Structure 1
Amino acid sequence: MRGRCGGNVAPVAAMLFRRQDPKPPAQRAAEWIELLLDDGPLRVAVRRNPQARRLTLRVRAAARDVTLTAPPHVPLAFARDFVQRHREWVRVRLVRLPEKVLFEPGALIPLHGTPHRIVHCPQARGTVWVAPDGDGQPALHVAGEAPHLARRVQDYLKREARQALTTAVRHYAGALKVEVGRITLRDTASRWGSCSAQGDLSFSWRLVMAPRFVLDYLAAHEVAHRLEMNHGPRFWRLVEQVCPNRREAEAWLRRHGSDLHRYGGD
């Protein structure tokens, strides 16, 4: 399933450009534009795209960064002026980004859509397990030393994601009478899942934090690509045949999908 996992694209763009770039993009050095904001300088990455016809600013919620897509031949000075003119637009959208939630004691993180408190149990044996906390609320209990807590939580979420996605994929593969290949997990910023021509499926492990019906929908979506490697009418009929709440899941992803990228990290 293609599509952004969050982010904002500037509603304005520069004039169209048609000249050819005399220097191949592969030979260009990395380009950056420094934008001075209230809390200090921000580096805006310049990405040269031979298919681009205009300048486009994007604030990506998943990566929490700002990029400028530009045609290969546009002078850096022109791009810099474009970014400076949209300084306020960038500032507002960065302020609107949800705050990061680290995997640390006391943090609330969703598991299958239900908030769980992280409880550190340094003297306990094992790794991570689910059990009510002292107030009877859902919690992730993490054993071991504090420096390993974040890694253990993420490893646990990935294991849970693999188990849930494998179960869902097998269910929908049986329903559609198709075979699938390997299932891999990634931390992608631009898509929730994909299906290769060979039948290998890839998913974002962060889907384990979404409600189960959302994870199930993504599994059905990618399995359906084993019969239709497109998003035509027949493809959507196949998806809705096995996953009637497809539109509800898509609506949830549009509203809340980018929030899944706020959890974890440094």
Structure 2
Amino acid sequence: MSDGPETVAIASRQVTVCWRRSARARRISMRIDARSGHVILTLPPRARRDDALALLRSHSAWVVANLARIPQAPRWHDGGQVLIDGRPHAIRHCPQARRGVWIEGEVIHVSGEAAFLVRRLLAFLREEARTRLGAGLDALSRQAGLRPTRLTVRDTRSRWGSCTADGAIMLCWRLIMAPPEVQHYVMAHELAHLRHMNHGPDFWMLVDRLTPHRRMAELWLRREGATLLRDMQE
């Protein structure tokens, strides 16, 4: 069970707190959701909210320091920018157009009312991700001789991809914003799990055979990945 977000003042600043009740929780715990920038407080069923707030305030310096490290969420608006394949594309709002969303060169055009710009852009990017990531995974799987049972492209909180024991691969749609080399690495990583469901030496040898981009991609994801996982803002 969870309660809606609540604004709490700590250390001379306002933070957003989300409450969670868990039958499995043995004690009050606290974490920061890097995607939303919210503090998540998880309580056992009988724990008091006042005790959870006391825990929050006793760790106020830690909370403030870690919130400050979270990258700013991308801001999508007319004149702003969005990454596609790692390259900045200018956002141009075309309220009178009737073409939906389309790309011309390094400009992405969004039709319709301004209030729906972010929603339309998100829908477009998700569909682009399904098309592009699907084609990329298909090409790499043919090259590797490794065929997943199915592919799903969806939103995730922290994972860029996953592979199940029955051979189903999931890719995060936000990869469409990363450079092609990073996309290629994540696909290779998940395809390698079709043969090795672990991260042992044989797994990494196969990844390195499937993609030359491993080191660069890992570094890019460490530096830039958190920004892509943030919720978009207008």
Q: Which residue of 1 aligns with 2:164?
A: 196
- Segments of 5+ residues of structure 1 without an aligned counterpart are 1-28, 133-137
1:164 pairs with 118, 125, 132, which one?
Answer: 132
Q: Determine the C-alpha separation between the residues in 1 that align with 2:59 and 2:217.
A: 34
Give 1:226's aligned amino acid: L
Give 1:64's aligned amino acid: G
Q: How do 1:1-266 and structure 2 match up within 5 A? A: 30=2, 35-37=8-10, 38-40=12-14, 42-46=16-20, 48=22, 50=24, 57-68=30-41, 79-132=52-105, 138-262=106-230, 264-265=232-233
Residue 203 of structure 1 aligns to a residue whose secondary structure is: strand
Q: Determine the C-alpha separation between the residues in 1 that align with 2:199 and 2:213.
A: 17
- 1:173-232 CA distance string (max 9 Å, x none): 122212212221211112111112222211111111111111111111111111111111
Residue 180 of structure 1 aligns to a residue whose secondary structure is: coil
Q: Is the 8 A contact 1:173 1:179 kept in 2?
A: yes
Q: Is the 8 A contact 2:15 2:38 kept in 1?
A: no
CA gap of 1:189–1:161, structure 2 versus 1, over 3 A, is same
- Segments of 5+ residues of structure 2 without an aligned counterpart are none
The structure with higher relative contact order (CA 8 Å, sep 6+) is 1
Deviation at 1:51, TM superposition (A): 8.4
Q: Is the 8 A contact 2:36 2:231 kept in 1?
A: no
CA gap of 1:228–1:85, structure 2 versus 1, over 3 A, is same
- 1:137-165 CA distance string (max 9 Å, x none): x2111123323322221122112211221
Aligned-pair identity in percent equals 38
